[in-house]
């Protein structure tokens, strides 16, 4: 299940072993709404190999400000606490699968 995290949980989340994907989103973002079921599918598909979390930029703005997130949705891919890739905007599932497969 894709989990909602708060700013204060960010460092612990990205520091987990394996690939971690963080989605920055907002309730008013239509592309975020389109991406949500795709992320849920990917979460089920990859199981424990990939962890997916999301941060609502409306209520949790510290990390998104630090990372200079200016467009939504914004996906940041982390390995061992470091950014190894980003995707901005809506992309189809197969594009995300390709990105994930290259990073795991």
Among 29, 39, 57, 69, the one annotated catalytic = 29
How far is Cα 63 from Cα 43, in angstroms, rounded to an integer?
A: 22
Tell me whether strands 74-79 and 19-25 are parallel, antiparallel or unpaired.
antiparallel
32 is catalytic: yes
How far is Cα 6 from Cα 62, in angstroms, rounded to an integer?
A: 9
Contacts 24+ apart (CB under 8 A), 5-9: 5/53, 5/54, 5/55, 5/60, 6/55, 6/60, 7/55, 7/60, 7/61, 7/62, 7/63
Among 14, 20, 32, 39, the one annotated catalytic = 32
By annotation, the residues acting in catalysis are 29, 32
């Amino acid at each position: 299940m894709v989990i909602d995290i708060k700013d204060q949980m960010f460092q612990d989340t990205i520091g987990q072993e394996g690939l971690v994907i963080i989605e920055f989103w907002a309730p008013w973002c239509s592309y975020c709404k389109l991406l949500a079921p795709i992320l849920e599918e990917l979460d089920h598909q990859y199981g424990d190999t990939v962890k997916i979390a999301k941060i609502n930029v409306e209520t949790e703005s510290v990390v998104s400000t630090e990372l200079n997130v200016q467009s939504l949705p914004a996906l940041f891919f982390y390995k061992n606490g470091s950014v190894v890739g980003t995707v901005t905007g809506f992309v189809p599932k197969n594009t995300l699968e390709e990105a994930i497969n290259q990073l795991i």
